[in-house]
Amino acid sequence: MKPNVILPLLIAIITASCSQSVVHKPRHAEPAVIIKDFKSWWSYNYSNINLSAEYIALDTSATVIDKAAFLQSLSSGAYIPLRIFSTDSSIQYQLYRMNGSVDGDIKTQVKQFGQDGYKNFQMEGMELPAFNFTDLNGNVYNNENTKGKTIVLKSWFIHCAKCVEEMPALNTAIRQFSNRPDILFVSLAFDSKENLTEFLKTTSFNYAVVADQKKYLTEQLKIAYYPTHLIINKKGKIVKVIDGDYGNMISCLKKELLK
pLDDT of residue 252: 87
- For the chain, domain boundaries: 25-123, 132-257
Q: What phi, psi does 128 have (nearest 5°)?
A: -65, 130
- 31 cis-preceded (ω within 30 degrees of 0): no
Q: Of the CATH numbers 3.40.30.10, 3.40.50.720, 2.40.30.10, 1.10.357.10, which one belongs to the domain with range 132-257? A: 3.40.30.10
DSSP code, position 156: E
For strands 208-210 and 183-189, give the pairing.
Answer: parallel
- In three-state secondary structure terms, 140 is strand
* CA distances from residue 142 to 25, 72, 200 in whole angstroms, order as listed: 48, 33, 24
Q: What is the spatial distance between Cα 95 and Cα 93, in angstroms, rounded to a whole number?
A: 7
Over its length of 259 residues, how does the chain's per-residue pLDDT go in tens digits? 433 433 343 334 334 344 334 444 667 789 999 999 999 999 999 999 999 888 999 999 999 999 999 999 999 999 999 999 888 889 999 999 998 889 999 999 999 999 999 999 999 999 999 999 999 999 999 999 999 999 999 999 999 999 999 999 999 988 989 889 999 999 999 999 999 999 999 999 999 999 999 999 999 999 988 999 999 999 999 999 998 778 888 888 888 888 8
For strands 140-142 and 132-134, give the pairing.
Answer: antiparallel
Q: What is the spatial distance between Cα 110 and Cα 46, in angstroms, rounded to a whole number?
A: 12
